[in-house]
Amino acid sequence: MSVLQLAPAVRWPHSTSLRLGAGLTLLFVLTAFLSWLWTPFDPTAMAITDKLQWPSLKHWLGTDHLGRDVLSAIMAGARTSLGVALVAVAVGAIGGIPLGLWAAARGGWVDEIVMRANDLVFAFPALLLAILMTAAMGPGAVNAVAAIGIFNIPVFARVTRAGALTLWQREFILAARVASKGQMRISFEHILPNLLGALIVQCTIQFSLGILAEAGLSYVGLGAQPPTPSWGRMLAEAQTLTALAPTLALFPGLALTATVLGLNLLGDGLRDLLDPRAQARRSS
């Protein structure tokens, strides 16, 4: 039984949700990279004569009120979303994981201070404070990244600490301590590698939340500023025109939904794949 539990899973997963999630995520990432090299039109080029067109062979997803191609804007918007969310997750992980490891390793007052500081950040509604921050420091993609990233730190710190605390009780950690290894060394040699599964899952979930948060900030005009394309701002601009051009809100909305759904499915699938208990369930 235990042999099965610890065997690393290398075979291709059979779970549909994982495949669907991985597919959608891959589509999102590829679109974002493709937009650097090629978009059907310049996403910022206006053509007032072609404004508010329905989807056609020329403009696959139609045009907006300034005649900009929607498909190109969505592709370029994917790049913004990817960039903001990626950096925000990185800020959260780089700030939060060492904090969590430190709190779990030291315990006592270090743990107390780190976790209470986390509670403090948690206690504020994240998006509201992000709005406050961007309002104070001025709107823009960089400030949005900072605001979202800072709220990712306690999430990663908490997940890391919880996992690390149970690992510190394990006998192989005792064995490392008997070998006189320090807390720092044990944390990075033993604890972190054994937490990677949980942390990767957390990354995908924070990633999707980051995309949502960026869209939310852009929607209220505090995220990426024009002319940088952003799904959130596309939605905000389309809102007033729903009666005239309903598809204008539909496509960025769909892109956002599909991406967030894909990342969440990927996270769930990865969790099942990396969780040893789930492995035992599958193989029994």
Partner 1 sequence: MRLLNIRDLVVAVGGRPILKSLSLDLDAGEVLGLVGESGSGKSMTALSIMGLLPHGASVAGSMRLAGQELTGLKETELCALRGREMGMIFQEPMSALNPLLSIGEQVAETVRVHRRTTRDEARRVARDTLERVGLPAARFPLTLHPHELSGGQRQRVAIAIAIALTPRLLIADEPTTALDVTTQAQILALLQRLVREDRIGLMLVSHDLAVVAQVADRMVVMKDGAIVEQGETSHLLRSPNHRFVRRLLADSSHRPRRAVQSNVGGAEPILDVVQVTRDYPRTGRALGGESQIFRAVDGVSLSIRRGENVGLVGESGSGKSTLLRAILGLDAVQGGDILVHGASLTRARGAELRRLRRQIQVVFQDPWGSFDPRWRVERLVAESFHLLDILPGARERRRKVEEILERVGLAPADADRHPHEFSGGQRQRIAIARALVTEPSIIALDEAVSALDVSIRAQILDLLANLSQQLSCLFVSHDLQVVRAITDRVYVLHDGRIVETGATATVLDAPQHAYTARLAAATPDLEVALRQREAHNGIRARCCRP
Binding flag, residue 284, partner 1 (CB under 8 A): yes
What whole-number distance in Å separates Cα of residue 161 and Cα of residue 156?
8
How far, in Å, are 82, 110, 169, 175, 193 from residue 178 at the CA level? Answer: 45, 23, 14, 5, 20
Handedness of CA 210, 214, 215, 217 (dihedral sign): positive
| Burial bucket for residue 159 (CB in 10 Å: 0-12, 13-18, 19+) | buried
User: Which two three-digit tokens encode residue 85?
Assistant: 């969310």
CB 110 to partner 1: min, Å: 17
CB 229 to partner 1: min, Å: 42
Q: Give the interface segment with partner 1, choosing from 4-12, 54-62, 92-100, 240-248 (CB under 8 A).
A: 4-12
Of the candidates 26, 192, 18, the one whose C-alpha atom is nearest the C-alpha of residue 93 is 192
Q: Give the interface segment with partner 1, choosing from 54-62, 128-136, 178-186, 217-225 (CB under 8 A).
A: 178-186
How far, in Å, are 115, 163, 192, 195, 196 from residue 159 at the CA level? Answer: 11, 6, 12, 9, 11
CB 283 to partner 1: min, Å: 8
Binding flag, residue 193, partner 1 (CB under 8 A): yes
Pick one of 38, 178, 243, 277: the residue that binds partner 1 (CB under 8 A): 178
57/179 with CB nearer partner 1: 179
2/49 with CB nearer partner 1: 2
Number of residues that bind partner 1 (CB under 8 A): 22
Contact residues toward partner 1 (CB under 8 A) are 2-3, 5-8, 170-172, 174-181, 190, 193-194, 283-284
